[in-house]
Amino acid sequence: MRRGRVAAPHGQGVRVVTAAIVADGVRKRYGDIQAVDGVSLHIETGEFHGILGPNGAGKTTTLEILEGVREPDEGRIELFGESPWPRNPKLLRRIGVQFQASSFFDKLTTRETIYLFASFYRVGSRQADAMLDRVGLTEFGGVPADKLSGGQAQRLSIACGLVHDPEIVFLDEPTAGLDPQARRNLWDLLRDVNEEGRTLVLTTHYLDEAELLCDRVSVMEKGKVLKTGAPAALIRELDDMVRVSVESGRIEPDTLRGLLGSAGVENALVEDDGITLSIATHSPGPVLSVLADRRALRGLEVRGATLEDVFLQLTGREYRA
Ligand SMILES: Nc1ncnc2c1ncn2[C@@H]1O[C@H](COP(=O)(O)OP(=O)(O)OP(=O)(O)O)[C@@H](O)[C@H]1O
């Protein structure tokens, strides 16, 4: 949230912050599945907010309800004080939705696609061209939209959601499936869009992405928001925990149990690669000393806690996107 907050004039000492989005007690059920189970959110104007969680946590359903494209079973939602459901014409120009790239018309070029989206809002071709330029796609204007690479298609879909200059932008896993370079390029774009004072709400599987981009995140699991806060604040609540990792083959299970029993060890697990033993602790000294005694320091890494550790602490289980 870099520029979007409404600051009080100098000397008054009071900062007025208006809510862009308020959700209260939102529920949505699909048959037997309670997809969203009492979600409440308060997202400030200009905030970059991440809704994160593993598959099936209820992120997309929550986002669609906020966007006003899905009706909640229960709960109150307001965008700038207006309900988005049923379809609210007063809000349409003020919100932008990044559509999944797969929903483009396959016979339209990149330029025709953004012109089409621009026409929905009576936005002229000059503004549409400028937006295409902004996302670096001018030279691909004549290319059929379905021939763009994954990163280019995502940039086009974001451009289509931004072309009418909305105040709130909703993005559903905008970097899913992109290579690392394309992800980084997209992060730069999203940061710029937020710096202009727009409110961004993004869902993501990637905890590192949320940690890097978002002012605040809401961690979701099983339809509920487990916690909301600034990534750094959530991590700080873990009380200076660090994660010590080594190659697991070097340490016997007995030693591991001993470590787990010792003071300050929060948890120890073998990571997805099947090789790395990862130990979360508040006192890395004794842990490192036991590992050194056992000559089990191969592959040693010591790093600060991350949002993965926050998730582990909130749910008691490892984060698996
Ligand atoms: N239209 C639907 N009909 C029936 N069940 C649905 C529908 N949409 C979602 N669900 C179910 O609701 C739950 C929440 O889904 P949702 O897509 O909101 O989660 P998500 O966190 O966005 O997951 P993902 O990261 O996999 O997209 C899941 O169990 C999903 O299978």
Residue 64, SS3 per DSSP: helix
Which residue from 60, 100, 209 has its CB within 8 A of the most atoms of ligand 1, so it is best to mutate? 60
Name the DSSP class of 38. E
Q: Which two tokens stand for residue 252?
A: 């016997």
State the fold for domain 241-304: Alpha-Beta Plaits (3.30.70)
Q: Which helix (H) or strand (E) holds 134?
A: helix 125-134
CB of 53 closer than 6 A to ligand 1?
yes
Give the H or E element holding residue 260: helix 253-261
Q: Which residue is closest in CA terms to ligand 1's atom 30?
A: 56
In this predicted structure, what is the pLDDT of residue 66?
A: 97
Q: Are 7 and 50 in contact (CB under 8 A)?
A: no
62-86 pLDDT tens trace: 999 999 999 999 999 999 999 999 9
Task: Give pLDDT, residue 269.
Answer: 79
The verdict on the CB of residue 33 being under 6 Å from ligand 1 is yes
Question: What's the CATH code, domain 19-235?
Answer: 3.40.50.300
Instruction: Say how far apart CA 225 and CA 130 lie, in whole Å.
Output: 38
Q: Are 46 and 4 in contact (CB under 8 A)?
A: yes
CB 168, CB 96: distance < 8 Å:
yes
**Residues in contact with 192: Cβ distance below 8 Å, sequence separation at least 6, in sequence order:** none
Determine if ligand 1 sits within 6 Å of the CB of residue 61. Answer: yes
Positions of the chain with pLDDT lower than 50, given as ranges: 2-12
Cβ of 58 below 6 Å from ligand 1: yes
Question: What is the predicted ipTM?
Answer: 0.97
* Pocket perturbation via mutation, ligand 1, pick of 59, 61, 62 by most ligand atoms within 8 A of CB: 61
Q: How far is the CA of 35 from the centre of ligand 1 (A)?
A: 6
For the whole model, what pTM was predicted?
Answer: 0.85
With H, G, I as helix, E, B as strand and everything else as coil, classify residue 52: strand
Q: Is 218 in the pocket of ligand 1 (CB under 6 A)?
A: no
Q: How far apart are CA 135 and CA 102, in angstroms?
A: 18
Domain boundaries of the chain, sorted by first residue: 19-235, 241-304
Distance CA 157, CA 159 (A): 5
pLDDT at 313: 83
**For ligand 1, atom 6, which residue shows the shortest CA distance?**
30
Residue 56 CB less than 6 A away from ligand 1: yes
CB 214 within 8 A of CB 171: no
Contact by Cβ (8 Å): 259, 285: no
Q: What separation in Å is there between the alpha carbon of 20 and the centre of ligand 1? A: 25
Q: Which residues contact 190 (CB under 8 A, 6 or more apart)?
A: 48, 158, 171, 174, 200, 202, 213
**From the CB of 59, is ligand 1 less than 6 Å away?**
yes
Output DSSP code: residue 8.
P
Chain segment 155-200, per-residue pLDDT in tens: 999 999 999 999 999 999 998 888 888 889 889 999 999 999 999 9
Closest CA to 52 of 210, 239, 213: 210
Identify the three-state secondary structure at position 232: helix
Q: What CA–CA distance (Å, rounded) separates 206 from 209?
A: 5
Degrees to nearest 5, angle at CA 28 with 22 and 34? 125
Atom of ligand 1 nearest to the CA of 205: 25
Give the separation between CA 222 and CA 317, rounded to whole angstroms.
Answer: 13
For helices 110-120 and 125-134, angle between their N-to-C axes, nearest 10 degrees? 130
Check if 69 has its Cβ closer than 6 Å to any atom of ligand 1. Answer: no
Length reported for the chain: 321
pLDDT tens, residue by residue, 107-123: 899 999 999 999 999 99
